[in-house]
Amino acid sequence: MVLTSCCTPLARRQIDTHPDPSHAFSQHQLREMAPVKVFGPAMSTNVARVLVFLEEVGAEYEVVDMDFKVMEHKSPEHLARNPFGQIPAFQDGDLLLFESRAISKYVLRKYKTGEVDLLREGNLKEAAMVDVWTEVDAHTYNPALSPIVYQCLFNPMMRGIPTDEKVVAESLEKLKKVLEVYEARLSQHEYLAGDFVSFADLNHFPYTFYFMATPHAALFDSYPHVKAWWERIMARPAIKKISATMVPPKA
């Protein structure tokens, strides 16, 4: 197990002398706590997902890399954190979590402030729209886009498996239909859940980042509002910082 970094939060906040009862903890309390730990390589999509949200809230965290060559992810030690032997896993004191979106929501709730509220759980309508588009990413957008990433990048570069162009072609057709809906939505609103950035938008980042390193990146040019939305996401300081640790293999 390699302890790669103790990451300092991008946004330093003032010590909170007037704690807001709607916050889980005061800033002072958060500072007193040990950094949370994320297990898995930073360039893995689902690890990066969690790191983005840790950066967005300015949490103190450590990334603990893992050695897949020695099957560390199937070791008893890791299975105690993630019984499916996958990454990421997460530790906050005695609490062990897995599933990257569940981890991310825990982080967002724990470190929620007046300025950073990506879940909007205090507002029924907004929270519902965040959930809708988070699910759309997981069950509609990503299933269309990620096969292209696997076929064009991960398989050839990391697994020595050649690109299956038929799978790519079928996925591109599905993705185009999905992007038509996104284009219409983002023509009405700056972000997916409404006119506020949220958990829903940022969940699209990890796989889309790698999609932009495939030969099909230019597809987004046909959907100008989607492209502009993607560029707004990429301009965020947290996203820039995590992007730098996700250097994609050259296609």
For another protein, the binding residue among 53, 98, 211, 220 (CB under 8 A) is: 98
Distance of alpha carbon 118 from alpha carbon 127, whole angstroms: 9
Least distance between another protein and beta carbon 180 (Å) = 8
Helices (H), 68-198: 76-79, 100-110, 124-136, 142-149, 165-188
Q: How many helices (H) and strands (E) does the chain have?
A: 11, 5
| 105 touches 134 (CB < 8 A) | no
Least distance between another protein and beta carbon 113 (Å) = 15
Count residues binding another protein (CB under 8 A). 32
Least distance between another protein and beta carbon 88 (Å) = 12
Q: What amino acid occupies position 29? A: Q
Considering the rule CB under 8 A, would residue 135 count as an interface residue with another protein? yes
Considering the rule CB under 8 A, would residue 184 count as an interface residue with another protein? yes
Query: Collapsing DSSP states into helix, strand and coil, what is residue 67?
Result: coil
Q: What amino acid occupies position 251? A: A
| 41 touches 47 (CB < 8 A) | yes
Least distance between another protein and beta carbon 179 (Å) = 12
Using CB under 8 A as the binding rule, the residues of this chain from 19 to 78 that contact another protein are 24
Considering the rule CB under 8 A, would residue 101 count as an interface residue with another protein? yes
Distance of alpha carbon 84 from alpha carbon 78, whole angstroms: 9
For another protein, the binding residue among 138, 158, 169, 228 (CB under 8 A) is: 138
Residues of this chain that interact with another protein (CB under 8 A) are: 24, 83-84, 95, 97-99, 101-103, 105-106, 109-110, 121, 124-125, 127-129, 131-132, 134-136, 138-140, 178, 181, 184-185
